[in-house]
Structure 1
Amino acid sequence: MTIELRHHTDLTARARRDLLDVYSDVRAPLLHLPGYGVEAFTGRLDRHAGEPGFGLVLGYDGDLPVGYVYGNTVGAGDRYWTRMAEPLPEGFTDRPVLALREIGVRSPWRGTGLARRIHDAFLGRRTEGRVTLMVNPAAGGGKVQALYESWGYRAFNGQPASDVSPRLAVMVRPR
């Protein structure tokens, strides 16, 4: 299987369409839940794409988009930090941090290392010293969080549950 990775620093119409196609497939079992529907995701995606340091990597098997990762830079005043459950360590936001917003791979390509490959390709073009992400520790019995731990992330904070989201673990690693 040969997967082509395509890097984007803006959200073109085709990249947006392909990303939404993969998201809809990856998150199909959750689309009925608040915050997971395609409309809610599209709103977040469009907001993130307009923020500083947006980047996206899409993986293609032939013409079929099969995986993605996207994120953007968050600085000291970003709303990302206001959602933390615990105060941040002194100086934590003195330098920009990369917020990995979403990563997903269609089920036939899971377990092939594609998620890690897309993740690493995304980080390979970034300049921020640290990367952070949020994960639902209850998802898949903690398998997703354990996977991120195997990639070098460690839990360091949390995000309180809301009407549309469970409590999330906030993880960080050096880039």
Structure 2
Amino acid sequence: METALMVDVRRFTHADLPAIRQALIDVHADAYTDAMDHEFNQRFPWFVDHWGGNPEFDCVIAFDGDSPVGFAYGAPASAHREWWREHMEAPPRSRTFAYSELAVRTGYRKTGLAQHLTRELLDARAEDLAVLLVDTEHPRVQALYESWGFSKVGERQPFPDSPLFAVMLAELPLL
């Protein structure tokens, strides 16, 4: 899907993290401005470093001119550490991409940018599946991912202070 915006989407890797780290933090702070009082969201820089520290980190960032306006990132799931499998009776044997984060600045919402970033990130992946977490308090976000081909397979609270998340899985490439 093409976004109505004229943005330039660029791909970045683990080696690029020092150059893009602050852009990710800034976009996240704007995208989640109403939720930044929650301590869990204040730890986002740690998550950037954790995911970006993975040698197979994959990230796309949308730029409007020189300004980053949205991003999506993740990394392949480690073999034998695909935690989502516990939510299925007969999980498929396949490689999984852990889609960790999607954020779009508030002024760029409802433009198709989130789906555009998702497709830019996932369409280039060689894995068979993508897994992500969605806060169960945000059913419209869950419905959006479902419209892109993801299905809820369970719920998970990965950290004691994190929200309860819907575990969502999709076959790649997305439809």
Q: TM-score range by the shorter chain?
A: 0.7 to 0.9
Once the two structures are superposed, residues 133-157 of structure 1 have per-residue CA deviations (whole angstroms, 9 ceiling, x without a partner) of 0001212xx1100100110100002
Secondary structure of the 1:152 match is coil
1:89 aligns with 2:86: no
Aligned positions of 1:92-131 closer than 5 A: 92=92, 94-131=93-130
Aligned positions of 1:122-141 closer than 5 A: 122-139=121-138
What SS class does the counterpart of residue 103 from structure 1 fall into?
Answer: strand
Instruction: Check conservation: 1:85, 1:158, Cα contact below 8 A.
Output: no
Is 1:20 equivalent to 2:39 in the alignment? Answer: no
Instruction: Check whether the contact 1:68–1:104 (CA below 8 A) recurs between aligned residues.
Output: yes
Give 5+ residue unaligned stretches, structure 1. Answer: none
| Alignment size in residue pairs | 167
- The Cα shift of 1:85 comes to 9.9
Distance 2:135 2:87 in 1: 20
Matched, 1:167 2:167: no
Letter of the 2:89 partner, please give it: P
Structure 2: runs of 5+ lacking an equivalent: none
**Cα displacement (A) at 1:161:** 6.9
| Alpha-carbon distance between aligned partners in 2 of 1:100 and 1:161, rounded to the nearest angstrom | 15
Q: Which residue of 2 aligns with 1:59?
A: 62
TM-superposed deviation, 1:162: 4.5
- Are 1:30 and 2:35 matched, yes or no? yes
**Distance between the aligned counterparts of 1:161 and 1:123, measured in 2?**
23
Cα distance in structure 2, aligned partners of 1:52 and 1:98: 14
In structure 2, give the amino acid aligned to 1:146: A
The amino acid of 2:22's aligned partner reads R
1:42 partnered with 2:45: yes
1:145 aligns with 2:142: yes
% identical equivalent positions: 31
User: How far apart in 1 are the matches of 2:125 and 2:158?
Assistant: 30
- 2: CA distance between counterparts of 1:96 and 1:161? 21
- Determine if contact 1:75/1:95 at 8 Å carries over to the other structure: no
CA distance in 2, matches of 1:4, 1:160: 35
Give the Cα–Cα distance (whole angstroms) in 2 for the partners of residues 73 and 44 of structure 1: 15
CA RMSD of aligned residues (A): 1.9
Letter in 2 for 1:62: G
Contact 2:87–2:153, Cα closer than 8 Å, also in 1: no
| Aligned-pair CA distance for 1:75 | 2.8
What is residue 72 of structure 2 aligned with on the other side? 69
Residue type at the aligned position of 1:3: V
